Structure 1
Amino acid sequence: MLVTACGSDKPADGVASAGGASVASTSASASQSGDGRQYAQCMRDHGVDIPDPDPNGQMGDLAKIDRDSQAFKTAAEACQKFLPYGGDLSKIDSKMLDQLRGFTQCLRDHGMDVPDPDPNSPSLGLDQMKNIDRDNPAVQKAFKACKDKIPGRPGQ
């Protein structure tokens, strides 16, 4: 799971949250890959109902979660240690960063205005994606078209 900004057909899925964006597949304190099941359980233990990841590491539909709520912010901070690279995406490896650049380029090719990842930012600058209208059919279409480019997917 890498950017909860990117994990299923809708933005902000598949990756937990780092500064409003989402990440999955890496944790500094635990390991590079993080632990999606522990993250999901921790979030539920802190009052945020999110599903366990599927066998491909995707978190499913997280579009209904209010990432601006105090409950989410508190839970995300408490559970950050289970995220890839401990939620600090600035520590992401170069292969994953290249994959992420391919994903954001694909989104732009499909009409979305998203930034390239910034390796000097703890959230890679992807926190800007938290305000994407996940209900917009054009956004859903772009994410669906680019889902095979989501970093951290098996086979990449």
Structure 2
Amino acid sequence: MSSRRRFGGRMVLAATASVMALAVTGCGGGDDGGDGVASAGGDKTGAQASRSSSSELAEYVEAQRKWVTCLRDEGLDAPDPDSKGKVDLGDRSKWKRDPKALRAQEKCSDLSVPVPESVEKAQQPELTAGEIRKNQQYAQCMQEHGAPDFPDAGADGHFRDVTWDSTSAGAKRATRSCASIIGIPDDAPTPKG
């Protein structure tokens, strides 16, 4: 993995505590930061963007069904995706240790697709005014204490999906300085870069 990491809006405050370690769905369930999928927008009208979003969701859910079917064909007990394409695999660490699950994941990997940006945005929880303020303060603190490329929090409180260097000395210093804003004790261990 390079020294640059993705930080997307899907990250919750707990992920922020681990210095934005990339949240990956356990079996490659389609979460790769949203790369490679165009989002609805550009010069499209709101109705066109909404239709495009609905179409992306339907395509994503269908792709997830095919992936789950493949896993089942390989002998795994995988649940159906929900209406937004999420597949609840339970204890993901079990899936990462089980040789049968690893073989199935490898065999079905070509059916695993990234979460479209429009679907990802629709799945983000709505934050309270306090959570929004906390995320905005955290972003500002990080930028002022050594991580100038840390993503800003938008008006909705979710962090913008940008690449930033979480391994630099400044980023590590900023993480220690700002951890208390998001409820992480000052003496919590920081990830190694």
Which structure dedicates a bigger proportion of its chain to strand? Answer: 2
TM-score range, shorter chain: 0.3 to 0.5
TM-score if structure 2 supplies the norm length? 0.37
